């Protein structure tokens, strides 16, 4: 009797571990391995003698829920992106230990293929299993039910609501992803907060509320492609809106935020498209006084050369006239007239040396006056400005304070690349105050902003001949062009593929530049126009130099006249 019970018990053990199902399951796993180019098989909850691991070409590891190691185990780094997770269900729908630790084990890898294996009929509990899977973002799930020699496959489609899919053969699982691409109006949620030009809202001329902004439009297009619905949660009206939004995102209360990722956030996000630089903009340097234009065409060395030429002409003419020397002043006037390229009444040429010098002087005068005039007119056309500040180091000479909000102040105080003079002159404002001044390009301050935002703000001045603000081309810090998303988002890889494609095709950049136009339509941005004529070079001020020279000349002439009068 005892022996019988023992035999029965042994038979029972044998039947639950069911060594006969090994060849079929192994064959299925081999097929899955081949299809998904698996680099690592992770077996969870299997008895050691259960699987014939040797048959699988790719390496395998065994995890037992009973061991302490299991609780600290997490897949990451090498080989983990192509792993296949195989879980034996001992207690349907799923062993509590496994259910508890699986999300940690597969942190940020929730889209790996997971195979559940059971030998009990899953009809009554598989709904619970799949609901758990979807909640944790395990979207690629295959349930294998083995009874005797038959194998049944199940999976699930979560959209628009959870339903079980009974697959007649394994190949159907391979094509299942096509069904996952249609969301059947499943909601993709975000928050309605405004953050131009990434997400804006305004009432258009027809009185309709319009949502726009480039990140918003990117996600809107994603939902259109996948037949999903973009749902906007009400705005968080609070000073601490930012931490609240982040906590909500972490709780999966919505799916993404319309904001690029900052490196310090440590949130799950889409894969980065590029590094997003952060720049300082400062008011464009002021135009120089227009009377200064007179001396600008020539550098001081050229002016010295002009004086030297006049002196040369005078001395050489004087030296060449031999015995018939007359006044040196006459030769000075001759030389000056040549250099200024103006006519003179009569030139008496005494010999061939003088003729040569006159020809040299005429040529020199021709070249000098023409190059002067050409330079002057090109400068009048383009305008001349005080020296530009081009590096962060130069900013210490800038008279403007840097306007910031309290979110960035700590970071900027620590920034090594920013000169101490700028740090001491930082000026703190509220977020709204800062936004108002920055969007209005109030030229009393310098501002700092991420590239995407800054380009939108600077777009306002693209009609101006002389811009109001200028960007320092050195970046101050770096963010990522990636968007924070809720943890274990089931369609994250789909989103990544979509983002990479629109980025590579240039649609991303187009959406960004379109958002500037939207911001202008909404009245958040304004196209700036210059008031009146920007450059008035020929005003009275322009002739100050000429007047001064004329006055000096007249005075000198008067003095010389008086002097000579007294000598005679």
Ligand X SMILES: *[C@@H]1O[C@H](CO)[C@@H](O)[C@H](O)[C@H]1NC(C)=O
Residue 98 contacts residue 127 (beta carbons within 8 Å) = no
- Give least dist CB 445 to ligand X, A: 7
Which of residues 227, 231, 475, 493 is near ligand X by CB under 6 A? 227
Task: State both tokens at 520.
Answer: 């202008």
Task: State both tokens at 55.
Answer: 């048959």
Residues 70-99 that bind ligand X (CB under 6 A): 77-78
- Give least dist CB 433 to ligand X, A: 8
Burial of 143 (0-12, 13-18, 19+ CB in 10 A): buried
Which of residues 20, 71, 163, 185 is near ligand X by CB under 6 A? 185
Does 184 help bind ligand X (rule: CB under 6 A)? Answer: yes
Which of residues 182, 195, 285, 369 is near ligand X by CB under 6 A? 182
Residues 6+ apart with CB under 8 A from 482: 260, 261, 269, 270, 271, 272, 273
Span interacting with ligand X, options 106-114, 135-143, 178-186, 531-539, rule CB under 6 A: 178-186
CA–CA separation, 229 and 189 (whole Å): 8
Does 444 help bind ligand X (rule: CB under 6 A)? Answer: yes
- Give least dist CB 38 to ligand X, A: 17
- Give least dist CB 106 to ligand X, A: 17
**Other CB atoms within 10 A of residue 310 CB:** 21
Nearer to ligand X, 40 or 320 (CB): 40
Nearer to ligand X, 241 or 437 (CB): 437
Does 229 help bind ligand X (rule: CB under 6 A)? Answer: no
Does 401 help bind ligand X (rule: CB under 6 A)? Answer: no
Span interacting with ligand X, options 169-177, 200-208, 418-426, 437-445, rule CB under 6 A: 437-445
Count of alpha carbons within 13 Å of 91, Cβ hemisphere only? 6
> Cα–chain-centroid distance for residue 340?
55
Reduced 3-state DSSP string for 162-181: CEEEEECCHHHHHCCHHHHC
Residue found by looking up tokens 């009068």 in the block: 565
- Give least dist CB 98 to ligand X, A: 25
Task: State both tokens at 230.
Answer: 């973009």
Residue 409 contacts residue 434 (beta carbons within 8 Å) = no
CA–CA separation, 367 and 369 (whole Å): 6
Span interacting with ligand X, options 90-98, 182-190, 283-291, 512-520, rule CB under 6 A: 182-190
Residue 113 contacts residue 140 (beta carbons within 8 Å) = yes
CA–CA separation, 341 and 194 (whole Å): 65
- Give least dist CB 441 to ligand X, A: 9
CA–CA separation, 215 and 195 (whole Å): 10
- Give least dist CB 417 to ligand X, A: 26
- Give least dist CB 403 to ligand X, A: 8
Helices (H) and strands (E) in the chain, counts: 19, 18
Nearer to ligand X, 425 or 500 (CB): 425
> Cα–chain-centroid distance for residue 106?
30
Span interacting with ligand X, options 230-238, 439-447, 493-501, 533-541, rule CB under 6 A: 439-447
Residues 493-552 that bind ligand X (CB under 6 A): none
Does 377 help bind ligand X (rule: CB under 6 A)? Answer: no
CA–CA separation, 102 and 136 (whole Å): 9
Span interacting with ligand X, options 42-50, 179-187, 273-281, 461-469, rule CB under 6 A: 179-187
- Give least dist CB 427 to ligand X, A: 9
Encoded one letter per residue, x for contact with ligand X by CB under 6 A and - for no contact, window 33-72 reads ----------------------------------------
The count of chain residues that interact with ligand X, using the rule CB under 6 A, is: 11
Task: State both tokens at 139.
Answer: 């979207």
Does 160 help bind ligand X (rule: CB under 6 A)? Answer: yes
Residue 92 contacts residue 118 (beta carbons within 8 Å) = yes
Burial of 283 (0-12, 13-18, 19+ CB in 10 A): buried
In this chain, which residue has its C-beta nearest to ligand X? 184
Residues 127-146 that bind ligand X (CB under 6 A): none
CA–CA separation, 468 and 517 (whole Å): 19
- Give least dist CB 383 to ligand X, A: 22
- Give least dist CB 73 to ligand X, A: 14
Nearer to ligand X, 160 or 537 (CB): 160
Which of residues 127, 369, 442, 493 is near ligand X by CB under 6 A? 442
Q: Interface with ligand X by CB under 6 A: which residues?
A: 77-78, 160, 182, 184-185, 227, 437, 440, 442, 444
């Amino acid at each position: 009797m005892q022996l019988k019970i023992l035999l029965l018990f042994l038979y029972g053990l044998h039947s639950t571990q069911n060594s006969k199902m090994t060849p079929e399951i192994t064959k299925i796993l081999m097929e899955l391995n081949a299809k998904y180019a698996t680099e690592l098989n992770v077996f969870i909850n299997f008895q050691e003698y259960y699987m014939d691991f040797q048959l699988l070409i790719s390496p395998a590891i065994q995890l037992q829920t009973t061991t302490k190691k299991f609780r600290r185990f997490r897949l990451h780094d090498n080989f983990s992106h192509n792993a296949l997770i195989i879980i034996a269900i001992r207690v349907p729908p799923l062993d509590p230990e496994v259910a508890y630790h699986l999300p940690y084990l597969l942190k940020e890898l929730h889209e790996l293929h997971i195979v559940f294996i059971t030998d009990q009929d899953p009809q009554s509990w598989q709904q619970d299993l799949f609901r758990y899977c979807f909640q944790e973002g395990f979207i690629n799930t295959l349930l294998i039910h083995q009874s005797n020699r038959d194998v049944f496959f199940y999976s699930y489609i979560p959209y628009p609501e959870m339903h079980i899919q009974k697959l007649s053969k394994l190949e159907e699982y391979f094509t299942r992803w096509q069904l996952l691409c249609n969301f059947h109006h499943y909601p993709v949620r975000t928050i309605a907060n405004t953050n131009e030009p990434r997400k804006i809202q305004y009432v258009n001329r027809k009185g309709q509320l319009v949502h726009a902004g480039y990140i918003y439009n990117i996600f809107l297009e994603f939902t259109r492609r996948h037949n999903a619905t973009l749902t906007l949660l009400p705005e968080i009206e609070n000073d601490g809106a930012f931490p609240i939004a982040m906590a909500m995102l972490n709780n999966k209360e919505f799916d993404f935020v319309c904001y690029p990722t900052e490196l310090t956030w440590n949130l799950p996000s889409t894969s980065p498209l590029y590094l997003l630089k952060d720049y300082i903009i400062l008011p464009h340097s002021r135009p120089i006084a227009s009377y200064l234009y007179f001396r600008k065409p020539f550098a001081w060395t050229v002016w010295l050369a002009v004086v030297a030429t006049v002196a040369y002409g005078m001395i050489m003419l004087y030296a060449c006239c031999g015995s018939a020397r007359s006044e040196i002043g006459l030769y000075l006037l001759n030389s000056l007239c040549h250099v200024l390229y103006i006519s003179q009444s009569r030139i008496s040429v005494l010999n061939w040396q003088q003729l040569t010098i006159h020809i040299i002087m005429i040529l020199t005068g021709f070249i000098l006056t023409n190059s002067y005039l050409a330079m002057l007119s090109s400068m009048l056309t383009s305008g001349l400005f005080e020296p530009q500040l081009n590096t962060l180091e130069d900013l210490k000479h800038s008279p403007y304070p840097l306007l910031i909000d309290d979110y960035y102040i700590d970071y900027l105080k620590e920034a090594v690349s920013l000169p101490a003079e700028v740090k001491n002159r930082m000026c703190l404002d509220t977020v709204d105050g800062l936004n108002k001044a920055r969007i209005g390009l109030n030229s009393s301050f310098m501002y700092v902003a991420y590239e995407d935002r800054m380009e939108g703000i600077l777009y306002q001045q693209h009609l101006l001949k002389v811009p109001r603000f200028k960007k320092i081309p050195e970046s101050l810090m770096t963010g990522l062009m990636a968007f924070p998303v809720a943890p274990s988002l089931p369609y994250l890889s789909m989103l990544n593929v979509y983002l990479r494609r629109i980025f590579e095709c240039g649609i991303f950049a187009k959406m960004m530049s379109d958002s500037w136009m939207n911001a202008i339509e909404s009245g958040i941005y304004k196209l700036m126009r210059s008031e009146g004529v920007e450059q008035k070079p020929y005003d009275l001020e322009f002739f100050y130099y000429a007047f001064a020279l004329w006055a000096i000349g007249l005075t000198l002439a008067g003095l010389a006249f008086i002097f000579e009068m007294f000598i005679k």
